[in-house]
Chains A and B, each alone.
Chain A
Amino acid sequence: MTSRLSAITLNTFREAVRDRVLYNLVVFVLLLVASAPLFGEISIGMERLIVVNVGLTAISIFGVIISIFIGIGLVSKEIEKRTLYTILARPVRRWEFIAGKYFGLMLTLVVNTALMTLGLFIALFMFAREQSGSNSGLLVAIYFTVLELAMVTAITLLFSSFSTPIFSAIFTFALFVIGTFAADLRNFAALAHGAAKWLVTGVAYLVPNFAALNVIGQVAHDQHIAGRLILFNTFYAVTYACATTLAAILIFERRNLK
């Protein structure tokens, strides 16, 4: 089982790399460099703040975009191109296929994020060396971004397991936006009454809550992030991603492929 899982994982990674997805790093670097002129607009001593804000936000957004772009085709492309047939004719279990795709995309995203982190630290060194700040805070924020990506990838995979790429992209993007404003959804729930209240509250917990994983503001201002928060967020992202992936597996195992 592990041999098959790792084979599919590595092949998925290989596909992403050969699809030249890593070129996004070039855009990332350009963005960081382009943020330098902003320094002039704001008072001195804010370089670190700018670089951290731009860098961390870009790492998050780029990661989500890549996750969606690659994720929507993870399963549907194999069905459409019928490459899946020769895979399923082998001793590969359907759940192994899904899990392998998931880990492969996560591996791609982790590598991508690691390289961007390196770029961020280099940028900080170049532009904001004099300003001190918490580097461990940055790493926590990036770790939370990886958790966020673990959830987004699971969601994209879920949609990809039964839907066409366009709809997968739309649904995942919609969930991403809703998830970013999940706290506001709970506000609306607080204002509602009766059945509507339970419904909206239920939805508010069902959608991914990315605001909970976003500590960019705090980290940019060097606030300390509690260990308990790291622990709970890890549980949250892991349980959510696992549940979503299980749903993808359940659907995919039942599917009559075309």
Chain B
Amino acid sequence: MNRTAKRTALISVLLVALMAGSVLSLRKVEAERGHEATLEEVLYLPSGKMLKRLSLGYSSLLADMYWTRAVQYFGSRHIEKATHYELLYPLLDITTDLDPHIIVVYEYGSVFLSQAPPNGAGQPDRAAALVEKGIRENPEYWRLYFTLGFIHYMDRKDYKAAQQAFEKGSEVPGALPWMKVMAARMAERGRDVNTAIALWTALRDTTHDKDIKQNAIGHLDSIRADLDIMELDRRVNMYHDRTGTYPAKWEDLIRAGLLQGIPTDPHGEPYKLLLNGVVNVENSKQFPYLNEWRYQ
């Protein structure tokens, strides 16, 4: 190899080594800062409004970025089974300040900001404030009233406020008559599992966001399981009343005429019958929202 070619090869090797070094150093830097360091700046930003002014007209691009950050933030924390999600509200708040017309953000907040940890940030009041902002900015969008009512009903358990939200929503031109029906039910019954089922079903069927849809399905499955278990408990107790003992397996109940077949949960697994007639699901990990509607 002649002299120049040797030199070029040497410099190229050095170049690659240096780039590798830079990648390693960068990873160390990020480990040191914590991978949410860039996100933490949201805590220091004066306000989303100020950011909007600074963004020189590119606010909707910036909104998309913050929205992506919010989803990443929640997603990665959720996998780690975190119990705090302090940055979720600021991220969603800034996103909606930058672009108040991204409806899915309000929907997202109503589910993941509102629900109790570890499945959400457990901040239903803030979630409600967020959606109220959305309603102010998008008054023609009646579904946001649904979103607001959802928060009040599910997590704030303020059935009056929920009913009012559904009432107002039903008055918006183009709203589905179903909104009025829900309002009436809430006025009538307050906390009611069928209303909950209706709300989750509506959310599952109307959302385009796959995380929200998954969440709704999860809730519906858990509610179904709770209802099933309550019914199975009832029949186990009937057996106990008749025979004085608890059934050891489902066949006992079938022979007693209290059951048609082996009961299976919404995931297709048979329910478990434990000592003293306690009924449970086979795999509780598949039902993260179990017990919300049991005997309450």
A and B touch in the complex (CB under 8 A): yes
Q: Which residues of A contact B (CB under 8 A)?
A: 42, 181, 183-184, 187-188, 190-191, 205-206, 209, 211-212, 217-218, 220-221, 226, 228-229, 232-233, 235-236, 239-240, 242-243, 246-247, 249-250
Contact between A239 and B29 (Cβ–Cβ < 8 Å)? no
Q: B282 to nearest A CB, angstroms?
A: 32
Give the chain A neighbours of B21 by CB distance below 8 A.
235, 239
Q: A155 to nearest B CB, angstroms?
A: 13
Contact between B15 and A187 (Cβ–Cβ < 8 Å)? no
Give the chain B neighbours of A217 by CB distance below 8 A.
40-41, 44
Q: B3 to nearest A CB, angstroms?
A: 12
Q: How far apart sit A247 and B18, CA to CA, in the bound complex (Å)? A: 11
Contact between B18 and A242 (Cβ–Cβ < 8 Å)? yes
Give the chain A neighbours of B32 by CB distance below 8 A.
226, 228-229, 232
Q: How far apart sit A249 and B15, CA to CA, in the bound complex (Å)? A: 11
B65 is an interface residue with CB less than 8 A from chain A: yes
Contact between A212 and B19 (Cβ–Cβ < 8 Å)? no
Q: A193 to nearest B CB, angstroms?
A: 15
Q: How far apart sit A239 and B15, CA to CA, in the bound complex (Å)? A: 9
Contact between B68 and A240 (Cβ–Cβ < 8 Å)? no
Contact between B11 and A250 (Cβ–Cβ < 8 Å)? yes
Contact between B65 and A232 (Cβ–Cβ < 8 Å)? no
Task: Find B26's partner among A205, A221, A242 (CB 8 Å cutoff).
Answer: A205
The list of the 9 closest CB pairs from A to B, nearest first, reads A243-B18, A236-B25, A235-B25, A239-B22, A239-B21, A217-B44, A240-B22, A232-B28, A232-B29
Task: For B64, give the chain A residue with the smallest CB separation.
Answer: A184
Q: How far apart sit A72 and B215, CA to CA, in the bound complex (Å)? A: 52
Contact between A220 and B19 (Cβ–Cβ < 8 Å)? no
How many inter-chain contacts with C-beta < 8 Å in the A-B complex?
72
Give the chain A neighbours of B286 by CB distance below 8 A.
none
Size range of the chain B interface in the assembly: 20 to 34
Task: For A41, give the chain B residue with the smallest CB separation.
Answer: B46
Contact between B18 and A246 (Cβ–Cβ < 8 Å)? yes
Contact between A250 and B15 (Cβ–Cβ < 8 Å)? yes
Task: Find A246's partner among B15, B33, B40, B41 (CB 8 Å cutoff).
Answer: B15
Contact between A229 and B29 (Cβ–Cβ < 8 Å)? yes
B8 is an interface residue with CB less than 8 A from chain A: yes
Contact between B68 and A184 (Cβ–Cβ < 8 Å)? yes
- Which residues from 11 to 57 on chain B have a C-beta closer than 8 Å to any C-beta of chain A? 11-12, 14-15, 18-19, 21-23, 25-26, 28-30, 32-33, 38, 40-41, 44, 46
Give the chain B neighbours of A221 by CB distance below 8 A.
44
A184-B68, A188-B68 known; A212-B30 Cβ under 8 A: yes
Contact between A212 and B69 (Cβ–Cβ < 8 Å)? no
Q: How far apart sit A163 and B69, CA to CA, in the bound complex (Å)? A: 35
Task: For A50, give the chain B residue with the smallest CB separation.
Answer: B46
Q: A98 to nearest B CB, angstroms?
A: 12
Q: How far apart sit A232 and B15, CA to CA, in the bound complex (Å)? A: 19
Give the chain B neighbours of A206 by CB distance below 8 A.
19
A-B pairs with beta carbons under 8 Å apart, 28 shown: A42-B46, A184-B65, A187-B68, A187-B69, A187-B72, A188-B68, A190-B72, A191-B72, A205-B26, A209-B26, A212-B30, A218-B44, A226-B32, A228-B28, A228-B32, A232-B28, A236-B22, A239-B25, A240-B19, A240-B22, A242-B18, A243-B18, A243-B19, A246-B15, A246-B18, A249-B11, A250-B8, A250-B12
Give the chain A neighbours of B29 by CB distance below 8 A.
212, 229, 232-233, 236
Task: For A233, give the chain B residue with the smallest CB separation.
Answer: B29
Task: For A211, give the chain B residue with the smallest CB separation.
Answer: B38
Task: For A206, give the chain B residue with the smallest CB separation.
Answer: B19
Contact between A239 and B18 (Cβ–Cβ < 8 Å)? yes
Give the chain A neighbours of B25 by CB distance below 8 A.
232-233, 235-236, 239
Give the chain A neighbours of B68 by CB distance below 8 A.
184, 187-188, 191
Give the chain B neighbours of A246 by CB distance below 8 A.
11, 14-15, 18
Task: Find B33's partner among A188, A229, A249 (CB 8 Å cutoff).
Answer: A229
- Which residues from 55 to 82 on chain B have a C-beta closer than 8 Å to any C-beta of chain A? 65, 68-69, 72
Task: Find B44's partner among A212, A220, A236 (CB 8 Å cutoff).
Answer: A220
Task: For A227, give the chain B residue with the smallest CB separation.
Answer: B32
Q: How far apart sit A239 and B26, CA to CA, in the bound complex (Å)? A: 10
Given contact pairs A236-B29, A246-B11, enumerate 6 new A-B contacts (beta carbons under 8 Å): A42-B46, A183-B38, A217-B44, A240-B18, A250-B8, A250-B15
Task: For A209, give the chain B residue with the smallest CB separation.
Answer: B26
Q: B63 to nearest A CB, angstroms?
A: 13
Q: How far apart sit A236 and B33, CA to CA, in the bound complex (Å)? A: 14
Q: How far apart sit A86 and B68, CA to CA, in the bound complex (Å)? A: 54
Give the chain B neighbours of A218 by CB distance below 8 A.
44
Task: Find B15's partner among A42, A228, A247 (CB 8 Å cutoff).
Answer: A247
Task: Find B19's partner among A209, A233, A239 (CB 8 Å cutoff).
Answer: A239
